[in-house]
């Protein structure tokens, strides 16, 4: 890295001491491609650049940019954060959970205008799409920022207020706050922002980030599990990534941070992405280890109901977090031994939905034992599969392409999610050819991308292969799939004749809706699919969809089908303006 004046936190002493697990490699401006601050030094081009913008405030568009920068940075730091994850359970998924949550938040904000509208949409989508303890806490950071900006733009004073509100929300949500975790670092960021007397937003953002960095370095002093492993807190490291991205978007130079390494016993450089269930380094923690992580949304509940729910979950296990999205919806999280009792507590409080139960027991299968290969089209959809641990074959693929991809897999057992990309008869031939090479290959019955995502969500490499395959197949079968596209020619369908330019709604391969208005066709298709029941709708918005298409469809579901959860993502696929999954 070229020499330059030391204006970063290390030079000023804010985060200069090398924390446990930190190496000498630094992360700076190059960590945020396209995200130069005003007058900031660029690690890629080696010069100071000026970017137009007002350093005193951030509008809705700039806050969406912040969210996008957070997603990019979390993607780059995911493996680093996962490797730090030893508390409360060493399941190495904190980086993945933060990335998934932030991506859901950003996708939910697309189409929103003002700063409050953007932050409110991010908070709601982040709460609905939160993964893990860290993801729920992240959703409260977004909610606190939204509450601090009731109108107008994000300013220095409102950032101070938003960070303080976020810290209060998180502390209230936790059944047993633990010092040395994400909350501690968030509170330190809020304190540092409050102590900053400079009026510029960038200065307050930088003060908050540097305060968080200092508190992050100190987390091993407060938690035995972190000190024993020689690491800092994983969730807190992810929080620092978000604050550093805010510094850049606010107009300051990118902070320079050390790279934090995982437990000392982890072989240097061993940062390969774990698939769910893969063994990780475990640091002994006093007390019994819970068997399950249980998460769900709760609707139709009062604040009093939520207080009772929080107490009930605390009696069942630990890592209890119950948070609101600021719009009447709630999300609950607990690590416990009795998953059924945790769900029953949600039933007593209100109407639970989007129930997610995952095993916390670390199974040690042989390295490279089983992998998942997913076929998809669209960069957004590909990222979703990759984030969940699958290897992706992106773009149009032939049977030969699939066979070559299977043979490149390092695993003895390969579960394939075809997602409708290749005809069934060709899949049979591919599987037979792959088995001839002494591989165990199972073609799972996922006929669409939404079905593939549903199947991958329940994948567990720690189970027996047959159990894993059955669970994934059942999840795919339990998801109804639809799509909306534009007719390219005149054709006869089972519901009539379509003309070029008509909107077509499909369920499976059958056209069930024809409408000259593609937006109306999409709303009609959604209504017909939900008339048959459903608790969760997944929307994958295509590259050629009209502006605001996903937000419009999500609003249609929320208005017409109360209690149904909506997860909206940028799929990036061609042909289909939106792909729909109903579970």
Closest-CA residue to 244 (of 5, 2, 11, 27): 27
Regarding whether 403 and 337 lie in a shared domain, the answer is no
Report pTM: 0.60
The secondary structure element, H or E, covering residue 331 is strand 330-336
Alpha helices in 174-233 (DSSP H): 182-195, 201-218, 224-229
Regarding whether 101 and 42 lie in a shared domain, the answer is yes
Q: Which whole number is the average pLDDT over 426-451?
A: 85
550 contacts 541 by C-beta, under 8 angstroms:
yes
Mean of the per-residue pLDDT values of the chain:
82
pLDDT of residue 326: 81
Q: Tell me whether strands 440-443 and 413-417 are parallel, antiparallel or unpaired.
A: parallel
Q: Which whole number is the average pLDDT over 443-455?
A: 93
Q: Is the pLDDT of residue 215 over 60?
A: yes
**Structural domain span for residue 522:** 480-582
Residue 268 has a CB neighbour count (10 Å cut-off) of: 9
Mark residue 404 as left, alpha or beta (left: phi above 0; alpha: psi -120 to 50; beta: remaining).
alpha
Residue 301 lies in a domain: yes
Regarding whether 556 and 445 lie in a shared domain, the answer is no
Residue 158 lies in a domain: yes
Residue 100 lies in a domain: yes
Regarding whether 200 and 75 lie in a shared domain, the answer is yes
**6-42 per-position pLDDT tens digit:** 233 323 333 334 344 444 334 444 444 444 343 333 3
Q: What CATH code is carried by the domain that includes residue 517?
A: 3.30.1180
Query: Hey, which bits of 451-555 come out as E strands?
Result: 480-486, 491-493, 496-498, 503-507, 510-515, 536-541
Residue 274 lies in a domain: no
Which pair of tokens denotes residue 489? 């020619």
Regarding whether 171 and 27 lie in a shared domain, the answer is yes
Residue 3 lies in a domain: no
Domain C-terminal end among 477, 511, 530 = 477
Regarding whether 232 and 87 lie in a shared domain, the answer is yes
Residue 431 lies in a domain: yes
> What size, in residues, is the chain?
583
Residue 458 lies in a domain: yes
**49-62 per-position pLDDT tens digit:** 333 344 589 999 99
d(CA 21, CA 237): 12
Domain C-terminal end among 458, 477, 496 = 477
Regarding whether 317 and 431 lie in a shared domain, the answer is no
Regarding whether 305 and 247 lie in a shared domain, the answer is no
223 contacts 181 by C-beta, under 8 angstroms:
yes
Q: Which whole number is the average pLDDT over 127-146?
A: 91
**88-134 per-position pLDDT tens digit:** 777 678 888 899 999 999 999 988 889 999 999 999 999 888 888 89
Q: Is the pLDDT of residue 512 over 60?
A: yes
Residue 323: which pLDDT band, with cuts at 50, 70 and 90?
confident
Q: Is the pLDDT of residue 434 over 50?
A: yes
d(CA 103, CA 238): 14
Q: What CATH code is carried by the domain that includes residue 147?
A: 1.25.40.340
How many domains would you assign to the chain?
A: 4
Q: What CATH code is carried by the domain that includes residue 310?
A: 3.30.70.2730
Residue 282 lies in a domain: no
Q: What is the dihedral of CA 441, 444, 450, 455, to 10 degrees?
A: -90
Regarding whether 199 and 328 lie in a shared domain, the answer is no
The secondary structure element, H or E, covering residue 313 is helix 303-316
Regarding whether 175 and 26 lie in a shared domain, the answer is yes
Domain C-terminal end among 430, 462, 477 = 477
Q: Is the pLDDT of residue 269 over 50?
A: no
Beta-bridge partner residues of 568: 539
Q: Tell me whether strands 370-376 and 391-394 are parallel, antiparallel or unpaired.
A: parallel
**379-410 per-position pLDDT tens digit:** 899 989 998 889 999 888 898 999 989 988 88
Regarding whether 126 and 220 lie in a shared domain, the answer is yes
Regarding whether 376 and 465 lie in a shared domain, the answer is yes
């Amino acid at each position: 890295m070229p020499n330059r004046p030391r204006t970063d936190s290390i030079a000023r002493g804010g985060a200069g001491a090398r924390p446990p697990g930190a190496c000498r490699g630094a992360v700076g401006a190059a960590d945020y491609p396209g995200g130069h601050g005003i007058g900031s030094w660029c690690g890629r081009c080696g010069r100071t650049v000026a970017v137009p913008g007002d350093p005193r405030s951030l509008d809705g568009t700039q806050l969406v940019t912040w969210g996008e920068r957070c997603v990019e940075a979390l993607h780059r730091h995911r493996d680093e954060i996962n490797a730090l994850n030893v508390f409360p359970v060493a399941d190495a998924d904190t980086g993945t959970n933060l990335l998934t949550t932030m991506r859901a938040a950003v996708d939910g904000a697309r189409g929103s205008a003002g700063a409050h509208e953007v932050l409110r949409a991010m908070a709601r989508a982040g709460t609905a799409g939160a993964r893990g303890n860290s993801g729920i806490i992240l959703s409260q950071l977004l909610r606190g920022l939204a509450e601090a900006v009731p109108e107008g733009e994000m300013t220095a004073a409102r950032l101070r207020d938003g960070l303080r509100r976020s810290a209060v929300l998180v502390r209230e949500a936790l059944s047993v706050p633990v010092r040395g975790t994400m909350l501690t670092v968030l509170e330190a960021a809020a304190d540092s922002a409050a102590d900053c007397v400079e009026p510029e937003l960038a200065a307050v953002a930088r003060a908050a980030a540097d305060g968080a960095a200092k508190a992050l370095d100190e987390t091993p002093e407060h938690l035995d599990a972190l000190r024993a492993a020689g690491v800092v807190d994983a969730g807190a490291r992810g929080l620092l990534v978000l604050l550093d991205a805010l510094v850049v978007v606010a107009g300051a130079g990118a902070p320079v941070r050390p790279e934090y390494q995982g437990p000392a016993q982890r072989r240097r450089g061993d940062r390969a992405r774990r698939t769910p269930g893969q063994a990780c380094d475990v640091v002994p923690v006093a007390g019994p280890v819970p068997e399950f992580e249980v998460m769900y949304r709760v609707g139709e509940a009062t604040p009093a109901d939520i207080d009772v729910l929080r107490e009930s979950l605390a009696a069942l296990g630990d890592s209890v977090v119950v948070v609101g999205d600021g719009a009447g919806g709630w999300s609950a999280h607990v690590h416990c031994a009795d998953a059924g009792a945790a769900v029953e507590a949600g039933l007593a409080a209100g109407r639970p939905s989007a129930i997610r139960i995952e095993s916390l027991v670390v199974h040690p299968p042989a390295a490279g034992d089983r992998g998942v290969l997913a076929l998809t089209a669209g960069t957004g959809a590909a990222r979703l599969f990759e984030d969940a641990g699958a290897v992706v074959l992106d773009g149009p693929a032939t049977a030969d392409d699939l066979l070559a991809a299977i043979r490149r897999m390092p695993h003895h057992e390969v579960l394939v999610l075809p997602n409708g990309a290749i005809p069934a008869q060709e899949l049979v031939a591919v599987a037979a050819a792959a088995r001839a090479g002494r591989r165990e290959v199972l073609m799972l019955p996922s006929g669409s991308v939404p079905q593939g995502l549903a199947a991958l969500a329940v994948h567990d490499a720690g189970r027996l292969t047959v159990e894993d395959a059955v669970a994934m197949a059942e999840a795919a079968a339990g998801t109804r799939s639809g799509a909306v596209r534009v007719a390219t020619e005149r054709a006869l369908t089972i519901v009539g004749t379509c003309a070029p330019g008509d909107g077509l709604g499909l369920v499976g391969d059958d056209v069930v809706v024809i409408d000259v208005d593609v937006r109306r066709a999409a709303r009609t298709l959604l209504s017909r699919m939900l008339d048959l029941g459903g608790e969760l709708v997944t929307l994958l918005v295509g590259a050629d969809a009209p502006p605001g298409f996903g937000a419009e469809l999500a609003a249609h579901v929320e208005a017409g089908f109360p209690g149904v959860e909506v997860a909206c993502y940028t799929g990036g696929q061609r042909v289909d303006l939106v792909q729909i999954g109903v579970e």
